Structure 1
Amino acid sequence: MASPRKPLELFATDSLVGPDDLAIRDTVRRYVAEQVRPHLAQWYDDATIPARELAGELGRLGLLGMHLKGYGCAGTSATAYGLACMELEAGDSGLRSLVSVQGSLAMFAIWKHGSEEQKQEWLPPMATGEAIGCFGLTEPDFGSNPAGMRTSARRDGGGWVLNGTKMWITNGSVADVAVVWARTDADDGRIRGFVVPTDTVGFSAPEIKRKLSLRASVTSELVLEDVRLPGSAVLPEAVGLSGPLSCLDEARFGIVFGALGAARDCLEVAIEYAGEREIFDRPLSAFQLTQAKLADMTVELGKGMLLALHLGRLKDADQLDARQVSLGKLNNVREAIAIARECRTILGAAGITQEFPIMRHANNLESVLTYEGTSEVHQLVIGQALTGQSAFR
């Protein structure tokens, strides 16, 4: 009888990754297994997460803004960052979201588009987890169409006054700094980014409660009521919607890997369960239908991993196109949620309990499916690339 194999071992994907990147992956895997996984079910039940404590631990591991260079950031490869996201999301999507929003949205926005003063002030403490950041783009009425945002920034002497509301903001209620995007009364009404310390008068971030997904994550509304900022608060290198979209591409890249972590965890749990569960006097794993399910899911997981690693190589070579990131997010999240749902069927009723992580992953992936670009938006991005025709309007 053949020895059981891990799903990705059949694809020998480790052979496609360098030793330094594998070492980073293995460090994150151990951290999640030893320090995070034992608490995840309770955090999910309680709809809470010790974000500040985790940020400090993640900072000490060098995972916050890890793919950025300078200012206390680790400066790893993009592939290493992707693999870290995969291991974090194998624990929980909320954990990966904390890291992705911190590093690929808030920190990247300052690193890519900020002034030297902004970088020196915020990036070092954000890299260590001493300061937590959030990213305010989505609004209650404008998610897939951020160009319609109503949040405004009005010139007031040498400074700015911001008013508006942002919605579905990860880390918002625990953040020390928010990167907020607003339509200005200058620059022909174009969108600009602002670095907003969260203790600024007029800024508040009420937490969103009663979630059924991403429960082990802080999700908030941002409310700006006559928030007065100095002229130095604006991100000088970002004018127009290309600024925030460049940040979203960074975060989506992490999701390409991260979603596979959730899928892999579900599949490994299902394989183990099927081997131990007896039905009709045989292990569940000995039945043809069960093996067919496991085989099909393994094929999709492996294909997604090969795609992710290919995109990682392109990004490390500075050749990754935003449309290719859409390919990766569309495929890998769509397949990950399908794997989670199929794995649940193998566990039967046991699959809906917190004794196993599968329903938690499935619920979380419902959010991952739509945030930072819905599947429909990514389909249209790819469709436009193929046809040259925009179907967004």
Structure 2
Amino acid sequence: MKTWLNSFSTMRSLLQNIDLKAVQKLSQKVDLNEMMGVVSKMSEDDLAKMMKFMKAGTSGKKKEHPPVNGDFYSLGHTLTPEDRAIQLKVREFMEREIRPIANEYWNKAQFPMHIIPKFAELDICGLTYQGYGCAGRSALLEGFIAMEMARVDTSMSTFFGVHSGLAMGSIYLCGSEEQKQQWLPPMQRMEVMGAFGLTEPEVGSGVAGGLTTTCRREGDEWVLNGQKKWIGNATFSDITVIWARNVADNQVRGFIVRKDNPGFVAEKMEDKMALRTVQNALITLTDCRVPEADRLQNANSFKDTAKVLRMTRAGVAWQAVGCARGAYEAALKYTTQRQQFGRPIAGFQLVQDLLVTMLGDLTAMQTMVYRLSQLQDQGELADEHASLAKVFCTLRMRSIVDHARELFGGNGILLEYDIARFVADAEAIYSYEGTKEINSLIVGRAITGESAFV
């Protein structure tokens, strides 16, 4: 009884402090006598809860929510201080330079060429390579950087991964010392931009079984014929690494093809629904002559190509984490700001259930790729390790962006809220660098000892 009287006295005091105009305004919305009658019948617990709500509502202070952070287990804090500083430098760059323009260029399906010199200032191309102007840092840091880029704009992380990972990586792993000295330093400075041409119009998952693009040697030159499709950066790259089947022995060879090489034509692919900022090209090679000096001297079979893909497939798993994290963080922030029924929707049970489901998947993805990069740094990374991470992370990414889209309601289809871009871009990550099915068969072969490939 004493608690009820105290609460009633507090409520009366609150009402007394409200000016008459406010009371009149309130009386137009509710029957004050009826409201007092309802209050008088409330239990002490319910009345105490109501008073707590009323005090919060009259405090004049905006409720502070916890900071939005998708790194729930603080994995970023395990990096060395120097590596952590590089990670945060990339994050600041993405927030300052890329986030304000991401939707604009995605919508226009154009690439912001003006940001390449600014990217170069980060000094992070070829991050894990030793020498040639590269930093020789850990694969773990490289993974965190891929995540930071995809967290803001997956198109930018793809652009960077093609140049620094696929193009530079092909030369680093398969080139001669002379070729490395010639190409890697200017590529590291982003003075020379690279692309990677493996996928073909009719050959995607089946590249190991036989490329239709051919090469044949004529004296000190090689003659290339065929087409490549979905080749990122190729509309503006200075060089493109082209993989072709040698008609003499049916083995795969790699070539550094320059953009002004006669017989090389790159046409921009239009009407994409994902990664629209990335400039994908359809490349046609018509009696394209490449000097022997520009053949990758240590690329003699598809196994050499696979070394590059193994390394970059791990990076794609990190990109999936970044895309998922960007969607989760955008959704979490939105739910704390979006008001329905007089309160933020973050306070509703079903919303919190979705957020926790997303965070659980995201944290599982992060810990998986964290260990994946540790294996890479220890020299123990196998194809099946990278493939399992690619399968799992892209599946969970799809689920997370789907839940995030749901939390945005109708606003989720508007580009201005970012989430529509994450949903669309997730579809590209899900498919490139090996589909779920192909990567599943790579893992299946490793754990059963039986190959299910055709």
Bucket of the pairwise TM-score, normalised by the shorter protein: over 0.9
Q: Give yes or no for contact 2:226–2:285 (8 Å, CA) kept in 1.
A: yes
Residues in 2 aligned to 1:389 and 1:2: alpha-carbon distance in whole angstroms: 56
Q: Give yes or no for contact 1:263–1:336 (8 Å, CA) kept in 2.
A: yes
Q: Report the equivalent of 1:355.
A: 416
Q: 2:112 aligns with which of 50, 71, 82?
A: 50
1:211-360 equivalence runs, <5 A = 211-360=272-421
Q: Report the equivalent of 2:73.
A: 11
Q: Give yes or no for contact 1:137–1:244 (8 Å, CA) kept in 2.
A: no
Q: Give yes or no for contact 2:70–2:329 (8 Å, CA) kept in 1.
A: no
* Rg (Cα) greater in structure: 2
For structure 1, list consecutive stretches of 5 or more residues without a partner in the other structure: none
For structure 2, list consecutive stretches of 5 or more residues without a partner in the other structure: 1-62
Residues in 1 aligned to 2:329 and 2:431: alpha-carbon distance in whole angstroms: 25
Label 1:29 to 1:7 Cα distance change in 2 as closer, same or farther (>3 A).
closer
Q: Does 1:150 align with 2:198?
A: no
- Give aligned-pair identity as a percent: 36
Q: Does 1:25 align with 2:87?
A: yes
Label 1:26 to 1:321 Cα distance change in 2 as closer, same or farther (>3 A).
same
Residue-pair matches, total: 391
Q: 1:208 aligns with which of 254, 269, 276?
A: 269
Residues in 1 aligned to 2:228 and 2:412: alpha-carbon distance in whole angstroms: 35
SS of match in other structure, 1:195: strand
Q: Give yes or no for contact 2:387–2:439 (8 Å, CA) kept in 1.
A: yes
Q: Give yes or no for contact 1:7–1:302 (8 Å, CA) kept in 2.
A: no
Q: Post-superposition shift, 1:57?
A: 2.0
Q: Post-superposition shift, 1:3?
A: 5.2
1:123-202 equivalence runs, <5 A = 123-146=184-207, 147-186=209-248, 188-202=249-263
Residues in 1 aligned to 2:308 and 2:120: alpha-carbon distance in whole angstroms: 20
Residues in 2 aligned to 1:283 and 1:185: alpha-carbon distance in whole angstroms: 65
Aligned amino acid, residue 231 of structure 2: I
SS of match in other structure, 1:173: coil
Residues in 2 aligned to 1:54 and 1:278: alpha-carbon distance in whole angstroms: 37
Per chain length, whose mean CA-contact separation is higher, i.e. which structure has more relative contact order (CA < 8 Å, sep 6+)? 1
Q: Post-superposition shift, 1:337?
A: 1.8
Q: Report the equivalent of 1:64.
A: 125
Q: Post-superposition shift, 1:176?
A: 0.5
The normalised TM-score by structure 1 is 0.96
Aligned amino acid, residue 338 of structure 1: S
Q: Post-superposition shift, 1:59?
A: 2.0
Root mean square deviation, CA, Å: 1.5
Residues in 2 aligned to 1:232 and 1:10: alpha-carbon distance in whole angstroms: 50
SS of match in other structure, 1:320: coil
Label 1:134 to 1:9 Cα distance change in 2 as closer, same or farther (>3 A).
closer
Q: Give yes or no for contact 2:172–2:180 (8 Å, CA) kept in 1.
A: yes
Between 204-213 and 245-254, report the one with greater CA deviation: 245-254
Q: Does 1:102 align with 2:168?
A: no
The normalised TM-score by structure 2 is 0.84
Q: 2:141 aligns with which of 67, 77, 80?
A: 80
SS of match in other structure, 1:189: coil
Q: Post-superposition shift, 1:63?
A: 2.1
